[in-house]
Structure 1
Amino acid sequence: MRQIRAILLALSVLGLPLHSAQPSDWGCEVLLCAALDNPSWHGVESCHPPMERLITAMKRPGFSWPTCPEGGAGKPGYDQYADCRAGWQPVAGDQEYDHGPSGELSRCSRTVRICSGRTSRSAFSDRQEITRDGITREFSGRNSCEYREYVARPLRAQPYYFDIKGEQGGTRERHYFDLRH
């Protein structure tokens, strides 16, 4: 975050306020605004022009993301899915049950053990059920002591991110942001 503040200071020292910067500074404006956490760029009036310009430019054919080499970041990444809940692991999606295409890690899964020790419940047949809270349970007749649960992986409110090079060696700090108006 210090590096971002240093870039902001450098831009203001050079007489380049955020609202009237040259086109070559646009990438640094976008980086500075996107990296804001509290408040986000939405709450900083001077960030509206460069971010709205970006949103508009993204809709045009041949769009090229503005970069800021001085800020140690190139084009942003995009990760639409948030982390799974504790105890759950990301797994490939199933088009029938969630919002992502097969092969994409769009679901969360966990194994649930329902037996302890040598006690075994009567064997389940191969079947599937969906609970009221949207969890899909898959039972297998081969193992009567456990079943798998699946749920759609939550979507991020801020799916874009910049990995900004930190001052300490090669460490990078991830800053998530959104591009909603």
Structure 2
Amino acid sequence: MENAFICHLQDHWFCIRKVNGEWYNFDSLYAAPEHLSKFYLSAYLDSLKGFGWSIFLVRGNFPKECPITSSEASNGYGQWLSPEDAERITKSCNSDSRTRGGAGERQSYEPNIQYEEAEMLVDDEDEDLKAAIAASLMDSGPAIAAQPGGTSQKENKNSAGENA
């Protein structure tokens, strides 16, 4: 029986976990855990696989509760939300992003779009790196150019002086 899924694509990991018999998406890109019905869980996992995500199945006995120290609670770590609180936070964040001109947090996180943009940035960085290397090689002094026949300009001058 599955207890969780770990989803991975490039540098992003998140888990989908069963809590009190219900499935939740604990993606850190979302404001709060997202409740998933069993049907939606299946469809969501299929769509992630289609976008190239690796999905790892987790089985085993998870602890029912994790005790939280008072210092952890005051820092906001380990905060337990009711399903209603999580839904309210998610709706609030989605409506805030729509008023700022965004399309909502859920729609802005489409794996294929996010990683296509990241690949374009990496390509730009590669071009910048190539240009920087080329510039540093030009600054390192005069290059010795090879002449046809495999000899350098310096060797040609020496042999020309010997022949004269």
Q: Max radius of gyration: which structure?
A: 2
TM-score (norm 1): 0.17
TM-score (norm 2): 0.19
Task: For CA contacts below 8 A with separation 6 or more, give which structure has more relative contact order.
Answer: 1
Q: Relative to total residues, which structure has the larger helix share, 1 or 2?
A: 2
